[in-house]
Amino acid sequence: MAEYLDAQHMLSAEAARCRSAIRTGQHAGPTAGLAPGCVQANLMILPQALADEFLLFCQRNPKPCPLLAVTRPGQTDVPALGADIDIRSDIPRYRVWRNGELIAEPLGLHEFWRDDLVSFLIGCSFSFEEALLADGLEIRHISQGCNVPMYRSTIPTTGTGRLSGPLVVSMRPFCAADTIRAIQITSRFPAVHGAPVHLGDPALIGIADLGQPDYGDPVPLREGDIPVFWACGVTPQSIIQHVRPEFSITHAPGHMLITDLSNSRLAML
């Protein structure tokens, strides 16, 4: 028990240290590789008028929108994810949207904050990628030093009144044996997208050309590779932007919230 407490304490301390560096402007870049072992989260902030519906959308679409925490309107702390979190300052870079148009990419939100804003913290594939790497699998876009390729598929999400649209998927290629292992490993992490949604022929989910992702960078396939597709946390951003809400805030791509949660404690077994 003491050892577990020590490990959790070390994780939390490192997460808090990273958040402090971000809050004070010492770190303003992407968060990949920071605080290894800690869960990182996507951010979606919406006015309460749309937040209730978005919560329902997340409930209906847990694979692209695995919720780690939701705040009350106006709440700026997120105690479930870390004792000292201030959602207005603890992400290195934000994107602020008005009527679906990007109006700012600030380092903090104090000038944009409103008392009706609800924050959604959504699981991120960094957690399962850490588990894949720990098992010895190669994640090709990490080897290549680029972003994961993402595609708007023809797989529909389960819509609500205003919120509907296609699932965005991320693609990671693996040989057959590693595909099987990757399915086993990611199945253990339903809180961070879980098992893949498709593998093999991209055309079956409406992807005409793997070389032309809608987001991120292309990753070429090697001989014997199988493309494996996971539900992607970009899905809610893609769907929200389609609605063009009067106001919304997201994290800038790759600039996540570092939480005190342990990746390994997200595993369901």
Give yes or no for a contact between 219 and 212, defined as CB atoms under 8 angstroms apart. no
Token pair, residue 234, equals: 């970009």
Q: Please, which residue, 157 or 248, has the CB nearer to a second copy?
A: 157
Residue in this structure with the two tokens 């028990």, named with its chain if needed: 1
Size of the site for a second copy (CB under 8 A): 18
- What angle (nearest 5°) sits at the alpha carbon of residue 159, between those of residues 156 and 163? 110
Stretch that binds a second copy, among 44-52, 80-88, 113-121, 179-187 (CB under 8 A): 179-187
From the list 142, 157, 187, the residue with the least C-alpha distance to 33 is 142
269 binds a second copy (CB under 8 A): yes
Token pair, residue 214, equals: 């809608």
C-alpha distance from residue 12 to each of 18, 36, 129, 147 (Å): 10, 11, 20, 27
Host H or E run for residue 40: strand 38-47
224 binds a second copy (CB under 8 A): yes
- What angle (nearest 5°) sits at the alpha carbon of residue 249, between those of residues 125 and 64? 30
CB of 192 to a second copy, least distance (A): 16
152 binds a second copy (CB under 8 A): no
CB of 205 to a second copy, least distance (A): 8
CB of 183 to a second copy, least distance (A): 5
125 binds a second copy (CB under 8 A): no
CB atoms within 10 A of CB 116: 12
Give yes or no for a contact between 83 and 77, defined as CB atoms under 8 angstroms apart. no
- What angle (nearest 5°) sits at the alpha carbon of residue 263, between those of residues 170 and 228? 20
* Site map (CB under 8 A) of a second copy, residues 44-83, x = contact: ----------------------------------------
Token pair, residue 53, equals: 């519906």
183 binds a second copy (CB under 8 A): yes
Q: Please, which residue, 103 or 204, has the CB nearer to a second copy?
A: 204
CB of 222 to a second copy, least distance (A): 12
Stretch that binds a second copy, among 3-11, 140-148, 180-188, 248-256 (CB under 8 A): 180-188
186-205: contacts with a second copy (CB under 8 A): 187, 195-201, 204
> Considering only residues 133, 156, 180, 220, which one is a binding residue for a second copy as defined by CB under 8 A?
180
79-118: contacts with a second copy (CB under 8 A): none
| Interaxial angle between packed helices 48-60 and 234-243, expressed in degrees from 0 to 180 and rounded to the nearest 10 | 140
Q: What is the contact surface with a second copy in residues (CB under 8 A)?
A: 176-177, 179-180, 183-184, 187, 195-201, 204, 224, 226, 269
